[in-house]
Amino acid sequence: MPRFSLETALKVRKRLEKFYQKALADEVQAEQQYKEKLELMSSALDVHNKDLDDAKENGLTISQLILGGHFQQRIEQQMELIEYQLKEQQEVVDLKRHELTLATQKKRVLEILKDKENKKYIDEMERLERLEADEIAQNYRRHAKI
């Protein structure tokens, strides 16, 4: 079979697709880390609120209430920051996913062209084999009549 004329381009597209897959995986992992941080802070805030409720029942000093308020405020600010970072990370993931989709489409176009070129070559070889077989059959009949 002849070498595909765009084989180099196809190899480059395959490498690009793998590169984009890895980049997407890295970004998804970073997104997951932001989600885990957010869950951790949310659970810390829940524990704090539960502890605060327990302290209210058992007696609560003003200093404990002030410290609890500052802690809650700081956690909420951190959560807002992480939510913002998570939103940005999700946009990056969407962009990487789009890049991967485009790279896959471009690679697929070259694969289709390669398949068509191979089919064209095979069809031509079969046509030449049929012509050769027809010629052999005609020669056999000529010699058989003689």
Domain ranges, ordered by start, for the chain:
7-109
Tell me how many degrees the CA angle 35-40-41 measures, rounded to the nearest 5: 100
In one-letter notation, the amino acid at residue 133 is A
Residue 132 in tokens: 């050769």
DSSP 6-40: THHHHHHHHHHHHHHHHHHHHHHHHHHHHHHHHHH
Residue 76 in tokens: 């909420």
In this prediction the pTM is: 0.74
Digits of tens for pLDDT over the chain (146 positions)?
778 788 888 999 999 999 999 999 999 999 999 999 999 999 999 998 888 888 888 887 888 888 888 999 999 999 999 999 999 999 999 999 999 999 999 999 999 999 999 999 999 999 999 999 999 988 888 887 76
pLDDT of 146 reads: 64
